[in-house]
Chains A and B, each alone.
Chain A
Amino acid sequence: MKAMTGTRGLVLNEPFLWEQGARGRTCFSMPRRDVDPCPLKDELVGQGPDFPDLSEVDLVRHYTRLSTWNFGVDTGMYPLGSCTMKYNPKINEKMASLPGFAGAHPLLPAELCQGVLKLMYDLEKYLAEITGLPAVTLQPAAGAHGELTGMLIFHAFFKARNQQRSKILIPDTAHGTNPASAALCGFKSIPVASNDQGVLAPEEVAELMDEETAGIMITNPNTLGLFEDNIKKIAGIVHAKGGLVYADGANMNAIMGIVDMSKSGVDILHLNLHKTFATPHGGGGPGSGPVCVTKNLEKFLPVPRVIHQNGDYTLTYDCPESIGKLHAFYGNFGVQIKAYSYILSMGAELKKASQLAVLNANYIKEELKSVFHLPYDRACMHECVFTDKFQKPYKVTTLDIAKRLMDYGFHPPTIYFPLVVHGALMIEPTETESKTSIDLFIAALKAIAKEARESPELLHEAPRNPKMRRLDETIAARKPCLAG
């Protein structure tokens, strides 16, 4: 076994910004004034916000030091289930910073930004090709925004038929954002239980689907990492009652270029470019959640739409049945460039990324199922879900296992989700990881299972190596301190 990457080194303490600096320090110099002074209106004059006085070096060191306490996908394996924390190739950053893209003002007239419009137009086409759904909007800012877009299209679809439907079916394995998005649009979510195989049974859907129900929101593969193999039958049942099928594409990394969403009966699908298409993810940075729809729902997509006529690309607002505008300008364009760059650089290998992601997850599942309880012992897709059942006699929980993984140099997996699995530990390796790093990860988890039996206190006290040890999540939630 190779040496684990987790270790300790010199880490610098760093106080809050408000405890630093000195009166009069500043990070920048105002440019020389070249207009006449103009007094502010009275209502705009008063005490400014309480900002610390810092020099440039104070500020740079603050964030650089904090960044050394952190762990990112550029640091090591980040197997956060259902989040697809794959590596973000740096070529994508280079493309996004090309001056023609980075400097393009969103109000440029179409004739001065043909390249930008062509990129958006082509990206829509690529995403259509990958998903099998022919019409695409790039506007939504992230997954849940895509869900909101989908629900607004549901509403518009029924309104155009002079119908109003009040309910949406949502499986118990859904992401929490699904019922939230449905509720935001005034739909009541009706939970559908998954069966003992961890997937939806058509009979269960048939029992709940009626003409008051707008349709179903289904994640495929689901959050247990299992392929909903009844999807086509379920879509048939929903369509027979006049409903629509919404697919949450959060787990699309398992099936890129392999499953044709339109042939499996999906009407609307959102993608997460920041998951599946290797654009940066997390840290509160911008995401992108394009929505792909069937031809007959295209007319409801948000405006403006990019069109290609007589060799020219233009933006059109002439879409009378559109649900309207969902984002300032055209969505998070910088993210769109990175996904476009990823798709083109992968080319025909894109499908292989999904195949390797699935292979990696199955390898981990098989290697670890003797030491961690596997509630659904069947072939998985891009992620696998274990529990802490075998560790219960030693009073070791999923949380302890996750915390201990940090000591070995890995980011913890998703824990306590999906809710249908008690004490879930949800691992998604992605295709990014080599066999070497996956073997090291497996060895770390096997070592942790052994520690749980022999010296459980190591797990209860974990993590020991990171700068910040086990944080008091309870106090953070009950009495949050929001100062910087």
Chain B
Amino acid sequence: MKEISELNFPDDLRYTEDHEWAKQEGKQIRIGISDYAQDQLGDIVFVELPQVGDTFAKGAEFGTIESVKAVSEVYMPLGGQIVAINEALEDAPELVNNEPYAKGWMIVVNPSDINEFDALLARDAYLEMLKG
């Protein structure tokens, strides 16, 4: 496992206390897990994602990530409808380890209330939380 200073947290993303990231792309939000989360989980061997069209509230579980250590849930940073899922993760779950912010993305959401996005943690606030 790495030191926090060795991890990467882009400043154009928002973060949650449960270690998901969210990125605004026009009217939609792309979601994945942070570099810290993937590092803590260790090698990821399976990612279970929802169906396109499913709707979840903020904080609801939208999927599970299985690593060699444990199975963890992933939660919606904000409420909305799933408009895309990263199907590549089915055959290549290691993308989440290798490129958590790029090819390791998980879902794209049509948010029901964009204010929920604005309420998420900015990079510095997330980093503060990690340093505890």
Contacts and interface: CB of A to CB of B under 8 A. Distances in A.
Contacts of A322: none
Contacts of B66: 477
Binding site secondary structure of chain B: loop
Contacts of A419: 70
A33 interface: no
Interface in B84-122: 93-94
A419 B71 CA distance: 10
A98 to B, nearest CB: 44
B69 A474 contact: no
B69 A416 contact: yes
Contacts, number: 21
B45 A477 contact: yes
A477 B70 CA distance: 12
B1 A478 contact: no
A139 interface: no
Given A397-B1, A473-B43, A478 B70 contact: no
B1 A474 contact: no
A477 B68 contact: yes
A473 B1 CA distance: 16
A395 B70 CA distance: 20
A395 B93 CA distance: 25
Interface residues of A, number: 10
A168 B96 CA distance: 33
A419 B68 CA distance: 13
B69 A478 contact: no
B126 interface: no
Interface residues of B, number: 10
A392 B46 CA distance: 27
Contacts of B43: 473-474, 477
A478 B97 CA distance: 13
Contact of B94 (A392, A395, A417, A478): A478
B45 A474 contact: yes
Nearest to A393: B3
A454 to B, nearest CB: 20
A455 to B, nearest CB: 19
Contacts of A478: 45, 93-94
Contacts of A392: 1
A203 to B, nearest CB: 23
A477 B46 contact: yes
A416 B45 contact: no
A416 B94 contact: no
B105 to A, nearest CB: 19
A474 B66 CA distance: 11
A478 B67 CA distance: 10
A223 to B, nearest CB: 14
Contacts of A477: 43, 45-46, 66, 68
Contacts of B70: 416-417, 419
Nearest to A480: B45
Nearest to A392: B1
Contacts of B94: 474, 478
Interface in B16-66: 43, 45-46, 66
A436 B22 CA distance: 55
Interface of A: 392, 395, 397, 416-417, 419, 473-474, 477-478
Interface of B: 1, 43, 45-46, 66, 68-70, 93-94
What are the 5 closest A-B residue pairs judged by CB atoms, nearest first?
Answer: A477-B45, A474-B43, A473-B68, A416-B69, A478-B45
7 contacts: A416-B69, A417-B70, A474-B43, A474-B94, A477-B46, A477-B68, A478-B93
